Structure formats: C-alpha cells, structure tokens
Amino acid sequence: MSYYDNFLNRGRISKIGKLLVNRQNNFYINTIVKNTSKKNLKILEIGPGKGYFAKKCRKFGFQYTGIESNKAICNHLQKQGLNVFNETVPPLNLKTKFDVIVMIHVLEHISDKNNAINLLEQCKNKLNKSGLLIISSPDITFFKEDFFGCDYTHSFPLSLYSLKQVFIDLDLQVKFADVRVLTIRGSLAAKFVQVFINLLYNLGLIGLFFGEKAYKVKNLGHASCTVVGFKK
C-alpha cells in the first residue's frame, strides 16, 4: 500500500465539509483572478487530492495541470478527465512554465527542509514573468503537537512568519499573507475559534456528537497559513 491509498476510501464528504472546501477553493480562485489580468491562465497544482480545486479551475476555463504522487489518486483524477501526472516532487520535471502554481496542504509533507526549499525554488523557476505562487500549510503555532499527531506524514512544520521568510528569501514579492480557520480570516479570530473548539473537545462534547471522528473535528479548529507571492 502506498501513502494515502486510503484517501479515496474515506467515505463521502459531509455537506458542511463540501461547503468549507468550496469556500476555501473560491478564496484561491478569487485570489488568482484579482492578482492577474491574463486570460487562458496556465495553472499547476501540486497535490490535487480529490480534485476539488482542479474542477473549479476547469469551470473557470483555466488550463489546469496537476502533479500527484499517489498512483491510485492520479488514476482516479485522470478518469475524470483531469490533466494529472503521477510524479513525486522534487524534482519538478515538467518542461512547461505556468502563470500560477498552487500547493494546498502539501509542503508540510515534504521529507525535510532542504527538499521543501528545493521544491519552492523549482516552482519559482517554472513561473512565467509576474507568475503567482500560492502556498497554504497548517500553521505550527496553532497546531502545536497536533501538527504531528493528526498526520504521520507531516514532516516540515511552517508558520505564517516562517513561510513569509521563505518567500522573501526566494525574492518573491509577498502579495497576501494571513491565517485562516474554517472560512474565518485573521489571527485573533483563529485563536478564538481554536480556544472554543478545544474547550468543547476537552469537555467531551465533540466526542458526544462525532464519536471516533472527534479528534479530526477538533483539528478543523486549527488555523492554516497562506502566502501568495509574485515572481518579480
């Protein structure tokens, strides 16, 4: 069995889950539309998962390409007509350049810091002039021990502050940087949501309603950081 073979068999996503995923992807699409005037955008997504963002890109008429390291997931997406390649990064072997490169909860799975930075450098080189790099990752300052506890494949912890540092060191102009929890933006709001959900979890109320999924629901209350940068 390969990493994440069970990802396709986790059951149907709930209506609330679909709403959250849809609003999250709308945020990424709106960010792309607001920050580029170019038409027929070429978009590369590394780690497309179940393809929700890919389908949103197709709906908007973007030229979408995906790279997925898991063969079963890749085959599943290809059967849906999505342009996805089965490769493990780094290295980033595609010869095409892109207007936008997106990694949503992927960078934290890269084996170590050097490989992660290497991948980001390659992403920058694969961007067209004024290309856009969008990275979203669990924020270690919110997740703390749950960063490793919620997923054994997490290897490279990041925070909003450290992710911004990476963009600056790569000479990418930071256009947007903030944390989000559920669909709520901002550190103060994220902290409030986290404290509230942790309280419900520690009181056993989340377990009462969600049973064995309680820990997963608790982790929805942790914020992720998102940084958007331009290639100068």
Ordered domains of the chain (ranges, CATH): 5-181+223-231 (3.40.50.150)
Per-residue pLDDT tens for 38-64? Answer: 888 999 999 999 999 999 999 999 999
Closest by alpha carbon to 48, among 98, 6, 87?
Answer: 87
pLDDT at 206: 94
Do strands 224-231 and 84-86 pair parallel, antiparallel, or not at all (unpaired)?
Answer: unpaired
pLDDT at 18: 80
Determine which helix (DSSP H) or strand (DSSP E) holds 228, and give its type and residue range: strand 224-231
Q: Specify which residues 65 forms β-bridges with.
A: 44
Per-residue pLDDT tens for 81-104? Answer: 999 999 999 999 999 999 999 999
Burial of 195 (0-12, 13-18, 19+ CB in 10 A): exposed
Q: How many CB atoms lie within 10 A of CB 120?
A: 25
pLDDT at 4: 66
* Contact residues for 16 (Cβ-Cβ < 8 A; gap 6+): none
State the DSSP code for 169.
H
Tens-level pLDDT at each residue, the chain (232 residues):
456 666 666 656 667 778 888 889 999 999 999 988 888 899 999 999 999 999 999 999 999 999 999 999 999 999 999 999 999 999 999 999 999 999 999 999 998 999 999 999 999 999 999 999 999 999 999 999 999 999 999 999 999 999 999 999 999 999 999 999 988 899 999 999 999 999 999 999 999 999 998 999 999 999 999 999 999 8
Task: Determine the 3-state secondary structure of 16 from DSSP.
Answer: helix
pLDDT at 192: 95
pTM over cut 0.85:
yes
CA distance 205 to 85: 43
